[in-house]
Amino acid sequence: MGTYCACWVRDSDLSQLSALAEWDEPLRTINFKGDIVSDTHRMRFGYIEKIPVALCLALFLVSGFAQADDSSLAKEANAALAQKDYNTAFSKFTVLAQHGNATAQFNLGAFYLNGQGVQKDEKQAYEWFGKSAAQGNAGALKVLQNAAAKGNESAKNELNKIQSKPASAPAQAQAPAPAVPRDEKTLLTEANTALAQKDYNTAFPKFLALAQQGNATAQFNVGAFYFNGQGVQKDEKRAYDWFAKSAAQGNARAIEVMQNAAAKQNEQAAAKSVLEAPAPSTAAAAPRAASERQRESSGSKFTLGVSAGATSKITGVSNSSSFGLLAGYRFNPSWGVELAYNSLYRNANANTLLSATYPGTTGTFDLSSVSAVGQYTYGLSSNVSLLGNLGVHSSSYKINSSGAGAKTGSSTGLVVGGKVQYELTKSIGIRGGFDTYTESGGMSGNITEVGISVINRF
């Protein structure tokens, strides 16, 4: 995972119960995010589904209730939402919203706005967003502000209701947010100044004080300080604790961090389960675990490569250097096919071969081959594999003689080979081994090539 950058905190953040990071550009999607579940002080976000809407919204599953009977209803509502059963989810979230749950009220607004589980009704949507915002839901307030800025009258009316509560309102009505104390403003200025100057030792304790007062952006920053080891000793556990607190208040950057961490954690858990799987014996378990690790990391189906090597002597012809090109396709981590072109002999000395028929004559021997083989791969470890080839070839040869001119011909036969492959990276590998060509070059014997190849998977 990369480095997380701390962000500046605004004065307005200190006067909000639930601070949100600024939205750069409103996306035309709505995210359904699953429950936030603690797992070794990390958060795991479950099901995510994107649905086109006119605004950028975040529809959260309900995770806290005032009435004991609502907890089971919340589970049912969340389950219906995860299954995209919007009709059922809408009816259950309606009950929770009527009980005063601010998150459920936000969800109803999104249902009405999207026309999911209920007929689309923008006026009703913004009324529910207004009720949620009146309880301090920062996401609902942001939705109203964005819609009002675009000229939506329903959103403007709801904002006016929130902002124009009379001073003589009943005691239980929400009071306006308190002004930021001067000492907090000073702390905020000092924290941002230290951050701008990369003075992390000074910035950390000031952001920590702001985070402990509930500022979501400061909580994200403290998480970044702990994660990067800037201004404080590196501590991933504490970092994710603070990211979790910030995400719980709706901070978009903190939510993204937690989602990425959850995805990585799931991958590591899957790999760990393979490594820790019981086996009859260590010797038998190692190859299987290696094969499983290779299977998990295998996502490249196509292969291109180049090869170079040397061929053996055949009757009357000396050995020669060789080179080739190959292309392959993998059906699965174990099986694939490979096509190759190989120049097996180039200007090889054929004096002995020619002098047997034409005494005193000298010449050279050229041989090229096109082959198609099936290939089996067996993983020895995460980086090392054994390859076995079996297929057919079609070869063309040419004998150049100083006294008898040129003679050409062709032949076909089998190709059998074995190689060892080492993975340098996820996409680059190197292999070495042999291929034997039967009945090649018009000869009755076999030709064996020994060489190395560099391959690229994509």
pLDDT in tens, 93-145: 998 888 888 888 999 999 999 999 999 999 999 999 999 988 878 888 889 98
Coil, strand or helix at 454: strand
Where does the pLDDT of residue 276 fall: very low under 50, low under 70, confident under 90, or very high at 90 and above? Answer: low
Q: Is residue 31 over pLDDT 70?
A: no
Task: Average the pLDDT over each of 2-16, 237-251, 255-269, 307-321 and give the range with the smallest value.
Answer: 2-16
Tell me the pTM. 0.38
The Cα–Cα gap between 305 and 309 comes to: 14
pLDDT tens, residue by residue, 34-69: 333 233 333 333 322 333 333 333 344 443 333 335
Strands (E), 296-404: 302-311, 320-330, 335-349, 363-379, 384-401
Secondary-structure breakdown of the chain: helix, strand, coil percentages, each rounded to the nearest 5: 40, 30, 30
Strands (E), 140-239: none
CA angle, 178 as apex, 177 and 184 as ends, to 5°? 125
Please give the average per-residue pLDDT across 396-412, as a whole number: 79
Return the H-helix or E-strand segment holding 443: none
Name the residue with higher pLDDT: 288 or 353.
353
Q: Is residue 259 over pLDDT 90?
A: no
φ, ψ at 358 (rounded to 5°) = -125, 90
The Cα–Cα gap between 118 and 39 comes to: 35
Instruction: Please tell me the predicted confidence (pLDDT) of residue 305.
Output: 94
Coil, strand or helix at 406: strand
Instruction: Please tell me the predicted confidence (pLDDT) of residue 6.
Output: 60
Q: Is residue 332 over pLDDT 50?
A: yes
| pLDDT cut 70: percent of the chain above it | 71
Q: Domain ranges in the chain?
A: 297-457
Please give the average per-residue pLDDT across 20-39, as a whole number: 30
Q: Is residue 236 over pLDDT 70?
A: yes
pLDDT tens, residue by residue, 156-210: 998 888 776 543 333 333 333 444 454 677 888 889 999 999 999 999 999 998 9
265: burial class by Cβ within 10 Å (0-12, 13-18, 19+)? middle
Q: Write the CA distances from 82 to 11, 94, 120, integer angstroms.
A: 37, 17, 21
Q: Is residue 155 over pLDDT 50?
A: yes
Task: Average the pLDDT over each of 24-38, 72-86, 207-221, 303-317 and give the range with the smallest value.
Answer: 24-38
Q: Is residue 306 over pLDDT 90?
A: yes
With b meaning 16 or more CB within 10 Å and e meaning fewer, what string describes 299-310?
eeeebebebebe
Please give the average per-residue pLDDT across 20-28, as a whole number: 28
* Cβ(152)–Cβ(122) below 8 Å: yes
Token pair for 33: 């995010």
Neighbouring CB atoms inside 10 A of 154's CB total 19
pLDDT tens, residue by residue, 321-331: 998 999 999 89
Neighbouring CB atoms inside 10 A of 212's CB total 12
Instruction: Please tell me the predicted confidence (pLDDT) of residue 411.
Output: 82
Q: In which residue are the tokens 């062709």 written? A: 410
Distance between alpha carbon 288 and the CA centroid of its chain, in Å?
25
Please give the average per-residue pLDDT across 344-371, as a whole number: 79
DSSP annotation of 21 reads P
Where does the pLDDT of residue 398 fall: very low under 50, low under 70, confident under 90, or very high at 90 and above? Answer: confident
Distance between alpha carbon 234 and the CA centroid of its chain, in Å?
25
Q: Is residue 346 over pLDDT 90?
A: no
Between strands 42-44 and 446-457, the pairing is unpaired
Q: Which CATH number fits domain 297-457: 1.20.1250.20, 3.20.20.150, 3.30.365.10, 2.40.160.20?
A: 2.40.160.20
Please give the average per-residue pLDDT across 308-317, as a whole number: 83
* Cβ(142)–Cβ(130) below 8 Å: no
Average per-residue pLDDT for the chain: 76
DSSP line for 164-180? T--TT--TTSPPPPPPP
Task: Average the pLDDT over each of 79-88, 207-216, 229-238, 313-322 and give the range with the smallest value.
Answer: 313-322
Q: Write the CA distances from 314 to 78, 164, 304, 318, 356, integer angstroms.
A: 75, 99, 30, 7, 14
Task: Average the pLDDT over each of 17-26, 87-96, 267-276, 387-396 and give the range with the smallest value.
Answer: 17-26
One-letter amino acid at 327 equals A
Return the H-helix or E-strand segment holding 60: strand 57-60
φ, ψ at 423 (rounded to 5°) = -85, 110
One-letter amino acid at 115 equals G
pLDDT tens, residue by residue, 421-440: 999 987 899 999 999 988 66
* Cβ(431)–Cβ(419) below 8 Å: yes
